[in-house]
Chains A and B, each alone.
Chain A
Amino acid sequence: MSEALHYHFDVDGASFANAGKASVETKKLLRQLGVPPEIIRRISVAMYEGEINMVIHAHGGDADVYITPETILITLKDVGPGIRNVEEAMKEGFSTAPENIRALGFGAGMGLPNMKRYSDDMHIDTRVGVGTTIELWYHLT
């Protein structure tokens, strides 16, 4: 994706004050670029879930958006604890979110399933103790 438009966002893992910012910014951007609303909605949902997961589970990370006329790729990269069992983590309802996080409305165990549902392709690359990178692919044509 050499001629791709590229946007980078630092996802702050220290607080919830800015959680969702990368997704909100990306949404605005895609609107300006005239991406179809239905695709923007799918990207907003999936990217937000990935962003929040980095804040809750991985002390923050990097979100990158690559746009070509044919494809949009979102990468969410962190150097957090990694996911021990991806298959289990992908199940609806599975969550390791602690009580204080649940009190904020997170921890339903629906984030990763939402990301899968609201992307055309999703790849998870994770290693315990090293980190997690998730790719969300969208085909525009």
Chain B
Amino acid sequence: MLTVKELVEGLGFEAIELPDPDREITGGYAGDLLSWVMGRAQEGDAWVTIMTNMNVAAVAQLTDVACVVFAEGVVPDKEAVLKARLHGINLLASRKGVFEICGEIRDAMRLPGPEDNEYAEPEERA
């Protein structure tokens, strides 16, 4: 089991807002198009994104992700941070790239390989 706090401590992510440090991370999703995230991200995911506006907070809240990780050194808007604080959403940040962050989180979770995990290729992808 991996908590958001362990992610911050273990991987050196910056904690922008950490209202729910003991929240468990059960998966991950990376993406910036909000309708994709809405439709695909699962409860308990670490959501890695470079989108920084306040709609990120609403999507995080409605999908029940465990935390948002802002990648590539992007900085969330003030409104997004305020909204997250108000609604108890964990916001983390890292200067690393999306690919690297996802890899590190996956390693930290010790998830099995792609052959036998539930995140199969979406059939839409050509």
Q: Give A residues with C-beta under 8 Å from B.
A: 16-17, 19-21, 23-24, 27, 37, 41, 44-45, 48-49, 52, 92, 104-111, 113-114, 117-118
CB of A91 to closest CB in B, whole Å: 11
User: Which of these, A105, A110, A113, A118, contacts B32 with CB under 8 Å?
Assistant: A105
Q: Which B residues form the contact surface with A (CB < 8 A)?
A: 32-36, 38-39, 43, 51, 53-56, 58-59, 61-64, 79, 87, 124
Contacts of A106 in B (CB 8 A): 33-35, 55
Q: Nearest chain B CB to A70's CB is how many angstroms away?
A: 24
Cα–Cα, bound, A45→B32 (Å): 16
Residues from chain A with a CB closer than 8 A to the CB of B64 are 41
The 10 nearest A-B residue pairs measured at CB: A20-B58, A110-B35, A108-B33, A105-B34, A44-B62, A114-B39, A108-B35, A105-B51, A111-B35, A45-B38
Contact between A114 and B34 (Cβ–Cβ < 8 Å)? no
Residues from chain A with a CB closer than 8 A to the CB of B39 are 45, 110, 113-114, 117-118
Report the minimal beta-carbon distance from B67 to chain A, rounded to whole angstroms: 18
A105 with B53: in contact, given A23-B62, A92-B124 (CB under 8 Å)? Answer: yes
Closest-by-CB residue of A relative to B87 is A24
Residue of A21, A48, A52, A111 with most partner-chain B CB within 10 A: A48
